[in-house]
A and B are shown apart, each in its own frame.
Chain A
Amino acid sequence: MIALHDVTKSFHSGKANPFTAIRNISLTIAPARLTVLKGPSGSGKTTLLTLIGCMARPTSGRIVLSGNGISGFPGGEEIRELDITSLPERFLAGIRRATFGFIFQHFNLLRGITVLENVMLPAYPTGERHGEIRKRAEELLALFDVARHANSRVDLLSGGETQRVAIARALINRPSVIVADEPTAHLDTDLSREFMEIVGSFKSDGKTVLIASHDPLVCESPRVDTVVEMRDGRILRSGSVP
């Protein structure tokens, strides 16, 4: 479970154009559920995602992770609750690698390397053996039915195939939380539905899913458990979908 307590994130304070992306947000992300952050661009969705996903540190407030052990943190197996607000980048990154898998709006795959290498990339710094990473990557590609493209360049894939490669990459480190930022922004209806199905399979695996989107196909999907509406860096409404 991820809990935010009175979190604020500002940029460029003390300079010419100070700007606060998020103000005093308190929020709890329930485990093994699908939560959607809904709101127009500029509402602070993306910033909130980066804070929850251990990509950035809040300017003020606290973020606490809790659960059955924290993976990617030295000695984390015995810890039930960890305040990650002031963790140095090295440790934050370790937790992020082991706990979160990210799917980006533009997929963000590396162009010069093969599909297989792209999927393996997030696992390189963990010190796992190259052969084992490779095996897992191949299994993931097979799971999403893109195994035949394992050695192709990324540019040659179709939109749907690229999306599935991006999802495979997000899963390489066996994360317990999947974070997706506007995943359906560049997809047609069929592919968007396909995506939501895959999200459903994540839920059945017990993973927590967090999606920022203003696409009705996502927000009004029956699989959604909680919707958090945002505007101007604050939460307007937050409630479970019956």
Chain B
Amino acid sequence: MTLHPAVLALLVASLLIGGMVLYAGGYGAKILLRWDIGSGSERQLELERRTYLISTLLSVAFALQILSLFLFVFTADRLHGMFSGAMCAAGTLNVNGFGYPVLVLKIVTFLLAGLWLVVNHADTRGYDYPLIKPKYALLLLLGPLVLVEGYLQYRYFAGLHPEVITSCCGSLFGQGQKGIAGDLAALPAGPMEGAFFGGMAATMACGIRFRRTGRGGYLFSIASSATFAVALASMLSFICLYIYELPTHHCPFCILQKEYGYVGYILYVALFGGGVAGMGVGVLMPFRRRGSMARVVPALQRRLTGGTLVLYLLFTLIVAYRILFSPFRLAAG
């Protein structure tokens, strides 16, 4: 295993996160079983005190999980020099069978962790802890995922031996390649551009309507989530092409490198941030009118919607700028 300090940092982080999640999960189960807001018994008071601890632990754990996604990708990018044939993070992740699963799991836990933080924020603002059960139910889903991801990450790093030859992103993401990566790259650029800009426009429209009138929350959430998926596919299909100014370079990781001004980070932060916020709006919809949430959730949803709109706009502007001002021109079709 490579003992690069960043790898150690990621392993330490996943140990800490795992520990916090386990501890919180244990008390979470207790809360789900014994919670009774109406009781004034000492046990209930103690449980209420504990929720502060669990909230704090999980907030820190999930914030760390979110940061570690970026650190992971950055590290995979930095380590590419150690593997012959690897030109960027794509190659590093392909070194053994655990690389891409870890990345996918990290993205999934990122999204779920973001959602949990949104629900937690809403719950703490309600005077009757209305979301406490859904919150800990979500934790029961998210907890094991985080632990599995931590284990897989360990297996991935343990299996990194610098001499291994791996394929470079060129052959992984080339258009003729079989497999999902190749398929996505092969998606024709023209229709994808249409889908991308159309999706963004639809999301903006739904978002503005929701903010103004409070109607169409579900519609907005679905639109923003769909656009999130389309935007990710678009990254592979045509966005990266404009950044690299090459018709065949579809790799989504190379844009994280210095030579492209680290623009990849801005794009991904904007996209993922906006995506989580949009999903958060949808997750909160069922609770919009429930008791104390009636005061809290609409305002929170407006803020989240605003966040999505701003971040998606930033993403779209950067993409549009690249398309308009790049000397590279993609032939139609």
Contacts and interface: CB of A to CB of B under 8 A. Distances in A.
Interface of A: 11-14, 57-61, 73-75, 85-91
A59 B41 contact: yes
A56 B166 CA distance: 64
Interface string B168-206: 000000000000000000000000000000000000000
A87 B37 CA distance: 8
A236 to B, nearest CB: 25
Interface in B32-80: 37-42, 45, 48
A58 B40 contact: yes
B289 interface: no
B235 to A, nearest CB: 41
Nearest to A74: B295
21 contacts: A11-B42, A13-B41, A13-B42, A57-B45, A58-B40, A59-B40, A59-B42, A60-B40, A74-B125, A74-B127, A74-B296, A85-B38, A85-B40, A86-B37, A86-B38, A86-B39, A86-B40, A86-B128, A88-B128, A88-B129, A90-B124
Contacts of A12: 42
A91 B37 CA distance: 14
A75 B295 contact: yes
B295 A88 contact: no
A88 B127 CA distance: 6
Contacts of A60: 40
A231 to B, nearest CB: 23
B48 A89 contact: yes
A12 B41 CA distance: 10
A88 B36 CA distance: 12
Contacts of A86: 37-40, 128
A85 B39 CA distance: 9
A74 B40 CA distance: 22
Contacts of B40: 57-61, 85-86
Given A58-B40, A60-B40, 12 more contacts: A57-B45, A59-B40, A59-B41, A75-B295, A86-B38, A86-B39, A87-B127, A88-B37, A88-B127, A88-B129, A90-B127, A91-B127
| Chain B interface extent, by class | 10 to 19
Nearest to B45: A57
Contacts of B125: 74
Nearest to A63: B40
A87 B128 CA distance: 7
Most B C-beta atoms less than 10 A away, residue of A60, A73, A74: A74
A61 B38 CA distance: 11
Contacts of B37: 86, 88
B297 to A, nearest CB: 12
Nearest to A59: B40
B48 A88 contact: yes
A80 B125 CA distance: 21
Contacts of A87: 127
B114 to A, nearest CB: 23
A74 B124 CA distance: 13
Contacts of A13: 41-42
Nearest to A10: B42
Contacts of A91: 127
Most B C-beta atoms less than 10 A away, residue of A60, A73, A90: A90
A14 B41 CA distance: 11
A73 B48 CA distance: 19
Contacts of B38: 85-86
Nearest to A89: B48
A75 B296 CA distance: 10
A107 B311 CA distance: 51
A89 B296 CA distance: 17
Contacts of B129: 88
A91 B124 CA distance: 10
What are the 10 A-B residue pairs with the smallest beta carbon separation, nearest first? A91-B127, A59-B40, A57-B40, A58-B40, A86-B38, A86-B37, A75-B295, A74-B295, A87-B127, A60-B40
A161 to B, nearest CB: 37
Contacts of B124: 90
A13 B124 CA distance: 28
A14 B42 CA distance: 10
A97 to B, nearest CB: 15
Interface string B121-138: 000110111000000000
Contacts of A61: 40
Contacts of A11: 42
